[in-house]
Copies of this chain bind each other. A is one copy, B any other.
Amino acid sequence: MHLRYQILEKIRGSKKAVSGQALSNELNITRTAIWKHIKQLRKEGYNITAKPRVGYRLKKIPDLLLSQEIKRNLDTDFIGINIINYPKISSTISVAKRMAKKGFPDGTVIVAEQQTFGKGRLGRKWESPKGGIWASVILRPKMSPSEIVKLNMVVSLAIVKAIKDVTGIQTEIKWPNDVLYQGSKVAGVLTEVDTEIDSVNYAIVSFGINVNNKLDKLSANVQETATSIQEIKGKKVKRLALFSAILSYLEKLFIECQNSGCGEILREWKQVCLTIGQELTIKTVEKQYQGKAIDIDDLGRLVLDTDDGQTVALLSGDIVSS
């Protein structure tokens, strides 16, 4: 651990103020060096008071997705062993892909306070102002490419469960990959994979969540369909707690899916999926379908009874009206 985080942990762990001299003795560096590290921690957003002859005290940790803070709440085995956080970045997906290619390990997490070129499905833009959670996780699943849709379900279910645990809010899933609250979008999930014919080199699972970001910073057409957790709750929520909870669920569900199959996950996912039972128009990359959604099958496909009397199973698509 970097020296300044060692200092941080010593201050954090103490109910009383910690004197510069005590820190200097314990860590075997000068009091001037201690002071410099405190200044750096303040720059990062930590509210640390310094009283002459009394010492340092941690008043408040910042509501920033700093890797050392996220890790404090994680009970995972591999997701989040590596966390890289950025104040501002083009897109966590691009960075994650580059890192995956370079060999960064399974479970590496990339998170940003802001994205300048956030990416949605099919090359669309994803608006990512300050206050949300914009993140990607590198996974190296032992699955065949055709099973990758299960990762998508794992991620959206992890988000729904974590939001419920941390805020008490019950959200729902709109197939294939949006998380909604009373019809408005709270979060989106995007899974990209690099594969050979039958094996996955790596997968990048990404998600964007409107948490404490101001909705009026979103463009007009996004505002129409979006909401945020702060908006629902009526007050700011702790992003750190939420993000840690998501990563914990993500690992738990991912391991369950790999080891015991995804049957139970599919069952839970269907319970919170609001798409089943709806009359829909769905646009896929190739075609448009109209009909009634009757189920999600074992492969994560939406089963649709079309108006012209056929039953089709769709792996993905846009619900254009419902």
Contact = CB atoms under 8 A, between A and B. Distances in A.
Interface of A: 97, 101, 121-123, 142, 144-146, 148-149, 152, 176-177, 190-199, 201, 284-286, 315-317
B198 A195 contact: no
A116 B185 CA distance: 49
A192 B201 CA distance: 9
6 contacts: A122-B199, A145-B195, A149-B197, A193-B194, A194-B194, A198-B284
Contacts of A316: 196-199
A316 B97 CA distance: 25
A91 to B, nearest CB: 12
A195 B192 contact: yes
A201 B192 CA distance: 9
A137 to B, nearest CB: 16
A146 B146 contact: yes
Contacts of A198: 284-285, 315-317
Nearest to A195: B193
Task: Pick from A146, A190, A198, A199 the residue with the most CB of B within 10 Å.
Answer: A198
Contacts of A144: 285, 315
A121 B197 CA distance: 9
A279 B316 CA distance: 39
A152 B101 CA distance: 22
B121 A196 contact: yes
A136 to B, nearest CB: 13
Nearest to A122: B199
Given A142-B285, A146-B315, A194-B194, 9 more contacts: A121-B196, A142-B286, A144-B315, A145-B145, A148-B195, A176-B197, A193-B194, A196-B316, A199-B285
A177 B196 CA distance: 12
A191 B199 contact: no
Given A145-B145, A285-B142, A122 B196 contact: yes
Contacts of A152: 197
A199 B146 CA distance: 12
A188 to B, nearest CB: 12
Nearest to A317: B198
A285 B143 CA distance: 9
A267 B122 CA distance: 33
Contacts of A286: 142
Nearest to A123: B201
Contacts of A194: 192-194
Nearest to A98: B101
Contacts of A285: 142, 144, 198-199
